[in-house]
Amino acid sequence: MEGVDDSNMIICRCEEVLLRDIITSIQNGAETLKAIKMETRAGMGICQGRTCRVLLEQAMTFYTNIDIREFNNVSYKNPVRPISLADLSQSRKDPS
Ligand code: FES
């Protein structure tokens, strides 16, 4: 948008990556989502891209004119949380 500075918009809240970090990465030569991810850590936080992936793809499309269908080369993992065996065994006894 013209006249609006949205460079402080958060793209990845887990890793505190702003739009300007993504733009800088692209200006520094990043041509793929994987390259941006490696440089900025966007998408590598606790959500593992579940919430930020769309924003990242939109930013990449807007600032590079690369077709969004070419972004399939990035893998995203489901968010997981470690659980102790004690908690796991307890959950079986207490279904609540
Ligand atoms: S918001 Fe940070 S990894 Fe998705």
Any atom of ligand 1 within 6 Å of the Cβ of 49:
yes
**Is residue 30 pLDDT above 60, yes or no?**
yes
Q: What is the pLDDT of residue 83?
A: 82
Task: Write the single-letter amino acid at 94.
Answer: D
Q: What is the pLDDT of residue 79?
A: 64
CA-to-CA distance for 77 and 8, rounded, in angstroms?
26
Any atom of ligand 1 within 6 Å of the Cβ of 64:
no
CATH architecture, range 10-93: Orthogonal Bundle (1.10)
Q: What is the pLDDT of residue 96?
A: 58
**Is residue 65 pLDDT above 90, yes or no?**
no
Distance between Cα 52 and ligand 1 center (Å): 5
Domain ranges of the chain: 10-93
pLDDT in tens, 37-54: 999 999 999 888 888 988
Q: State the DSSP string of 28-93.
A: TT--SHHHHHHHH-TT-STTTTTTTHHHHHHHHHHHH---GGGGTT-----------HHHHHHHHH
Distance between Cα 26 and ligand 1 center (Å): 19
Q: What is the pLDDT of residue 85?
A: 86
Distance between Cα 29 and ligand 1 center (Å): 22
